[in-house]
Amino acid sequence: MRSAVCLVAGFLLAVGMAGAQPIQSTTDTPLTLQQLEEMALANNPTIGQAQAGVDAARGRAREAGAWPNPTIGYTGEEIAPGEIIQRGAHGVFVDQTIPLGRKLRWNRAVFEREIAEAESVQEMQRLRITSSVRTFFYDVLTMERRVEVLDRLAQLAAEAVTITRQLFNVGAADQPDVLEANIEARRAQLERTAAKNELNAMRLQLSALVGDQRVASRPLVGSLEQAMPELERDATVQAVLDRSPEIRAARAAVERASAVVTRAGREKYPDLFLRGGVQYNRERLEVNTAVVGWQGLAEVGVSVPLFNRNQGLVGAARADETRAEGERRRLELDLQSRAAVVFEQYLTALRASEVYGGEIVPQAEQAYRLYLARYREMAAAYPQVLIAQRTLFQMTAEYFENLKQAWRAALRLQGFLVGDGLEAPGRVGDELSVGIELRTGAER
């Protein structure tokens, strides 16, 4: 690929474009790809969203493993007037539930898997942003080069108009030739205008992705002459499957579902209930004798899983585990399929850009210049010049389009097909796990 791009650079030099100035203002410091990536990671709001997802998962894990809060209250008995009862007994008590069967441990285990899933989503979002920044960066560089080429081609078309008018003035060209030359010159100008508008749109998209509007007007430092990534099919597809954060998030979801199954099965173990306190008993043992005074109280009990052993939720948890495992496998197959399609796009566009850049565009430019020189010498008809000009315009446009598509496909594969950088990160833990209740301390 490097040799093909170098040949195109030679072609641009031949037509006087290698020294063309960028269309952006040079008053600002140029931006490198690394700077753009750092700015995007600092400013893109989806990074904060992904981090919030991780923080929320950690909070749920901390809450799920916490002990139930005790209950402190007042107790009163035999509250009635009388010579012996003396308005009854009054006191305070503390009530505590103790979960058995390691329920709290497995509560925490479920949500620790959720943390791993949220961290994978966070990594995927960072990869989305950097991959999108790289894509727009090379899109802008490619479109800048295309604008430079179209500027020069528009100049060539204007020269053809001048030559045709000169020949018409001396009777060597017809009025239709002048009209055709004018039409082609206007078409070249329109194509150049369309390319500039597309370039401006790309720059605005890049600035939105980076989160800084000033990026749209600042020049970029980079070169298409850098080696295009040379990717190998099997290794690339395998890397997508092995290193994709989507796959890691799916595996964490499977582990989470497995932990939920274990936790739901622990519900059959009873919980221990303890209650203790003190009270002051004003009851008299006999008339005109002292009151009973301070007394202790204690209660111990367990919940008996006699009618409900959580069988339904255990079955539901196992079904969710099966679904999560199926989703992981589906995602692997989907990524494998998408990677194969994108690799074919990459390979086709790469080879096409090599042929266009190394052979077709230089030959089309040479043919056009030869026809134009012969037409100036009245040795060729203008339709031949017109055909050669249109061919040069079309081949140049196809070269840059294939170059852009090759870069896009390569960067998508290197970014593991994770999606767009402004796409919201996936949410983790929207639904509470089967058999696990997350309540505030006041509700326990």
For the domain that residue 339 is a member of, what is the CATH number?
A: 1.20.1600.10
Phi, psi of 214 (to 5 degrees): -65, -20
Residue 297 resides in a domain = no
What is the Cα–Cα distance from 316 to 323, expressed in whole angstroms? 10
Residue 52, pLDDT score: 94
CA distance 195 to 205: 15
Where residue 168 falls among pLDDT bands split at 50, 70, 90?
Answer: confident
Print the domain residue range for 428: 2-66+103-260+332-443
306 lies in some domain = no
The reported pLDDT for the residue numbered 207 is 94
Q: For Cα atoms 66, 123, 331, give the angle at the middle one, nearest 5 degrees.
A: 95
- Spatial separation of the C-alpha atoms in residues 294 and 21, rounded to whole Å: 96
**Cα 321 to Cα 250: distance, rounded to the nearest angstrom:** 11
3-state secondary structure of 379: coil
Residue 33 falls inside a structural domain = yes
Query: In sequence order, which residues have a C-beta less than 8 Å from that of residue 224 and are 6 or more positions away?
Result: 5, 138, 141, 142, 145, 403
Give the model's pLDDT for residue 430: 52
Residue 72 lies in a domain: no
pLDDT tops 70 at residue 297: yes
Sign of the Cα torsion 343, 345, 351, 354 reads negative
Highest mean pLDDT among 120-134, 153-167, 284-298, 416-430: 120-134
Rounded Cα distance between 412 and 405, Å, is 10
pLDDT band at residue 287, thresholds of 50, 70 and 90? Answer: low
pLDDT at 441: 37
Mean pLDDT to the nearest integer, 245-249: 92
Taking residues 30-41, what's their average pLDDT? 93
Look at residue 113 and tell me if it is in a domain: yes
Is 305 a domain residue? no
Please give the share of the chain, as a percent, with pLDDT higher than 90: 56
**How many domains in the chain?**
1
Lowest mean pLDDT among 131-135, 193-197, 350-354, 418-422: 418-422
Distance CA 222, CA 177 (A): 42
The average pLDDT across 245-255 equals 92
Question: What is the pLDDT, as a whole number, of residue 86?
Answer: 65
Confidence of residue 429 (pLDDT cuts 50, 70, 90): low
pTM of the model: 0.78
What is the spatial distance between Cα 392 and Cα 153, in angstroms, rounded to a whole number? 9
Residue 18 pLDDT: 35
Residue 365 pLDDT exceeds 80: yes
Let me know if residue 324 belongs to a domain: no
Torsion of CA 207, 212, 217, 222, to 10 degrees: -60
302-306, 401-405, 436-440: range with highest mean pLDDT? 401-405
Residue 433 lies in a domain: yes
pLDDT score of 327: 94
Q: Enumerate residues 6+ apart whose C-beta is below 8 A from 264.
A: 310, 313, 314, 316, 317, 434, 435
pLDDT at 321: 94
Residue 84 has pLDDT above 80, yes or no: no
Residue 26 has pLDDT above 80, yes or no: no
Question: Residues 108, 112, 113, 117: is their CA dihedral positive or negative?
Answer: positive
For the beta carbon of residue 17, count every other beta carbon within 10 angstroms.
Answer: 18
Average pLDDT, the chain: 85
